[in-house]
Amino acid sequence: MQNGIPYLDILIFGVIAIFLIFRLKNILGTKTDFEENGLNEKRQTKQHSNVLPLKSNKNISINTEIDKITKVDSNFDMVNFLNGSKTFFEMVLKGFVSGNLDRVKDYIKPSVLKSFKVAIDDRNKEDETLIIDLISIEKNKIVSSIITKTSIKINVIFETLQITALMDKNDKIIDGDTDKEILVKDEWVFEKKINDQNNNWTLIETKSF
């Protein structure tokens, strides 16, 4: 019997070893499950990161405004309107710089036209010269509109790159820089009367930022 004891010890140790291996496998298995869950979370995160956020509602609201306008004015075309406003912006700018607004005066509200002319007169009295070199129009878009029973008003934003300077009678720069481009942001309001024989838009307000 004594000779059989070592074999019994080996058998007991073998059972203990199997038990430990089984426990170790369970522990490692639990860790693997955790890592797999982590990978799943990473995959889900990656998938979610590919989902782009919805764009701003600005475009939706503008489309709604355009729909409102076309219900009142079936001939309204946004592209043509914006192209026309861009051309008009350039004409007003050139007229203001040269001091001659005759080409655009019929499309500008009298009070706004008066403000332009006052600024031109003040400049002429001081023998000052205004330089505005319009490099490009970076942005030209409708930002809002107001529709009443009698009129349609549309707010348009212009963002332009310009070289601007004001020079005195001795050609000395008072303000601005003839060598530096700047970004200028303006908001102009155009108005059109409903059921009016005159289909032209009128500039009724300007604002610079």
CA separation for the pair 79, 54 (Å, rounded): 25
What's residue 59's pLDDT?
A: 54
- Please say whether the beta carbons of 154 and 190 come within 8 A: yes
CA–CA distances in Å: residue 177 to residues 36, 137, 170, 171: 63, 19, 16, 13
Tens digit of each residue's pLDDT (9 = 90 or more) over 50-86: 333 333 445 556 787 788 899 999 889 999 999 999 9
What's residue 31's pLDDT?
A: 40
Q: Give the three-state DSSP class for 209.
A: coil
Predicted confidence band of residue 164 (pLDDT cuts 50, 70, 90): very high
Tens digit of each residue's pLDDT (9 = 90 or more) over 176-205: 999 999 999 999 999 999 988 888 999 999
All residues at 6 or more sequence positions from 82 whose CB lies less than 8 Å from its CB, including other chains: 140, 141, 142, 156
Helix (H) or strand (E) holding 131: strand 129-147
Q: Tokens for 22, please give them.
A: 């089984």
Q: Tokens for 146, please give them.
A: 């107001």
Q: Which residue has the higher pLDDT, 113 or 25?
A: 113
